[in-house]
Amino acid sequence: MDAVLDDLARHWWLYAAIPFVAALIGYVTKRVAIEMMFKPLDFVGIKPFLGWQGVVPKHGGRMAAVATELLTSNLLDVKEVFRRIDPAIITREIEQPLLRAVDEVAREVLEKHHPRLWEVMPTMAQELLIKQVQASTPRLVREFMAEMTENLDEVLDFQHMTVQRLTRDKKLLVRLIRETSRPEMAFIARTGIYFGFGLGVVQAIVWAVTKEPWVLPIFGGCIGLLTDWLAIKLIFVPREPVRVGRVILQGKFQRRRAEVAHQYGEMIANEILTVPNLLDAVLRGPRSDRLYALVERLVAHAVDEQASVAKPMVAMAVGGQRLQEIKQAAARKALERLPPTIRHAEGYLTEAMDVAKIVERRMLGLTPLEFEGLLRPAFRQDEWKLIAVGGLIGFLVGELQVLLMLH
Q: Which helix (H) or strand (E) holds 375?
A: none
Please classify residue 245 by burial: count the beta carbons closer than 10 Å to its beta carbon, then call 0-12 exposed, 13-18 middle and 19+ buried.
exposed
**pLDDT digit string (tens) for 48-102?**
677 888 878 887 777 788 778 878 787 888 888 888 888 888 888 888 888 888 8
376, 20 Cβ separation under 8 angstroms:
no
Task: Give the span between the Cα atoms of 246 and 381, in whole angstroms.
Answer: 36
Q: What is the mean pLDDT of residues 354-377?
A: 84
Measured at the CA of 185, the angle between CA 179 and CA 188, to 5 degrees, comes to 170
Residue 361, pLDDT > 60, answer yes
Task: Give the span between the Cα atoms of 18 and 10, in whole angstroms.
Answer: 15
Amino acid 113: pLDDT: 67
Instruction: Give the range with max mean pLDDT: 204-208, 231-235, 331-335.
Output: 331-335
Number of CB atoms found within 10 A of residue 93's CB: 18
Q: Where are the domains of the chain?
A: 85-157+286-362
Amino acid 313: pLDDT: 45
Residue 219, pLDDT > 50, answer yes
Residue 310, pLDDT > 50, answer no
Amino acid 317: pLDDT: 52
Q: Is 52 helix (H, G, I), strand (E, B) or coil?
A: strand
Amino acid 146: pLDDT: 84
Q: In sequence order, what DSSP letters do the residues of 149-172 get, joined into one string?
A: HHTHHHH--HHHHHHHHHHH-HHH
Amino acid 357: pLDDT: 92
**pLDDT digit string (tens) for 369-405?**
888 877 676 566 667 776 777 777 778 777 777 776 6
Residue 318, pLDDT > 70, answer no
**pLDDT digit string (tens) for 7-41?**
777 777 777 887 887 788 778 877 887 888 788 88
Confidence of residue 105 (pLDDT cuts 50, 70, 90): confident
Amino acid 147: pLDDT: 84
DSSP structural state of residue 212? -
Q: ω before 377 within 30° of 0 (cis)?
A: no
**Which are the contacts of 135, defined by CB distance < 8 A and separation ≥ 6?**
none
Residue 116, pLDDT > 70, answer no
Task: Give the span between the Cα atoms of 273 and 368, in whole angstroms.
Answer: 25
pLDDT cut 70: percent of the chain above it: 87
Q: Considering the entire predicted model, what is its pTM? A: 0.74
DSSP structural state of residue 185? H
Q: What is the mean pLDDT of residues 311-340?
A: 70
Q: What is the mean pLDDT of residues 211-238?
A: 77
**pLDDT digit string (tens) for 244-258?**
777 777 888 888 888
Number of CB atoms found within 10 A of residue 315's CB: 13
Task: Give the span between the Cα atoms of 94 and 346, in whole angstroms.
Answer: 10
Q: What is the mean pLDDT of residues 42-52?
A: 80
Q: In sequence order, what DSSP letters do the residues of 103-121 get, joined into one string?
A: HHHHHHHHHHH-HHHHHHS
**pLDDT digit string (tens) for 152-193?**
888 888 888 888 888 888 888 888 888 887 887 888 788 778
Q: What is the mean pLDDT of residues 216-236?
A: 77
